[in-house]
């Protein structure tokens, strides 16, 4: 799938929500999806980074994006409901979500992680994707073809010392993805859920977890885009409940 070549404009007319769209994989995906004709909802906490992504999309003459600032650590259930309602009012549809936003503090043993740190990783990495998917589910079910993608981490696959709440929350999110798949496979067969584990790439999180690496020697976020394009477009119809490990 890393060699997948998307047909031109294969996301034309679609509306796709990307969390963590201001940097890393989220930004790369937002720009890639927009280049394939999609209208992008840029969601994240840092407005200046979302505005930079918006400006780049606009400068390329791509479909106009929408900025939706949201702090996934503090958002309440009503905030997600309001977000889904705004998407419907402004854009009339939703065809996909990329859950890419993540919170990660640093590598540390569980015994020194505070309850506040642990809860923040659970809220951003697990609770927020649940609440956002739930709020947007009526829109996704109404779409002719829809896709929800989770970006995870290799530490979620096998219990790994020092990854703490981040690995635990990401592992739980992988199970949640499969539960969504099983619960909706009969009533919404057009709606698919999958997880991507990128492996070592150039990203802000990787800089924090592996500060001694030569960052420039790692693959870029852009190198992952064929797999994200495949999963977000109709060529991946019937592909659901999978965890795809890259690099």
| Domains in the chain: boundaries | 15-245
Question: Do 190 and 145 touch, CB atoms closer than 8 A?
Answer: yes
Q: What are 98's two structure tokens?
A: 């990329």
CATH superfamily label, 15-245: NAD(P)-binding Rossmann-like Domain (3.40.50.720)
CA 181, 183, 186, 190 torsion-angle sign: negative
- Model confidence, pTM: 0.92
Tokens 């963590």 appear where?
20
Question: Whole-number mean pLDDT of the chain?
Answer: 92
Question: Do 161 and 109 touch, CB atoms closer than 8 A?
Answer: yes
CA–CA distances in Å: residue 97 to residues 75, 202, 222: 17, 22, 18
Structure confidence by residue, pLDDT tens digits, 47-101: 999 999 999 999 999 999 999 999 999 999 999 999 999 999 999 999 999 999 9
Which residues, 6 or more positions from 186, have their beta carbon under 8 angstroms from its beta carbon?
none
Structure confidence by residue, pLDDT tens digits, 165-211: 999 999 999 999 999 999 999 999 999 999 999 865 666 665 555 55
């Amino acid at each position: 799938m890393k060699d997948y070549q998307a047909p031109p404009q294969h996301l034309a007319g679609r509306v796709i929500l990307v969390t963590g769209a201001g940097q890393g994989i989220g930004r790369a995906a937002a720009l890639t999806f927009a280049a394939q004709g999609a209208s992008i909802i840029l969601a994240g906490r840092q407005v200046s980074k979302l505005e930079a992504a918006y400006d780049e999309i606009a400068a390329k003459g791509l479909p106009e994006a929408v900025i939706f600032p949201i702090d996934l650590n503090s958002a309440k259930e009503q905030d997600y409901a309001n977000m889904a309602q705004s998407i419907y009012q402004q854009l009339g549809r939703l065809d996909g979500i990329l859950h890419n936003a993540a919170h990660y503090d640093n590598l540390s043993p569980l015994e020194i992680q505070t309850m506040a740190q642990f809860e923040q990783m659970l809220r951003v990495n697990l609770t927020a994707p649940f609440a956002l998917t739930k709020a947007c589910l009526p829109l996704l079910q109404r779409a002719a073809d829809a896709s929800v993608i989770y970006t995870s981490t290799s530490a979620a696959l096998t219990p790994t010392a020092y990854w703490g709440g981040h690995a635990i929350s990401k592992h739980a999110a992988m199970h949640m993805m499969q539960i969504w798949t099983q619960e909706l496979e009969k009533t919404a067969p057009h709606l698919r859920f999958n997880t991507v584990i990128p492996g070592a790439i150039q990203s802000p999180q990787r800089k924090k977890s592996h500060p001694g690496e030569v960052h420039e020697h790692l693959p870029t976020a852009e190198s992952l885009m064929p797999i994200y394009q495949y999963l977000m477009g109709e060529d991946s119809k019937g592909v659901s409940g999978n965890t795809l490990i890259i690099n």
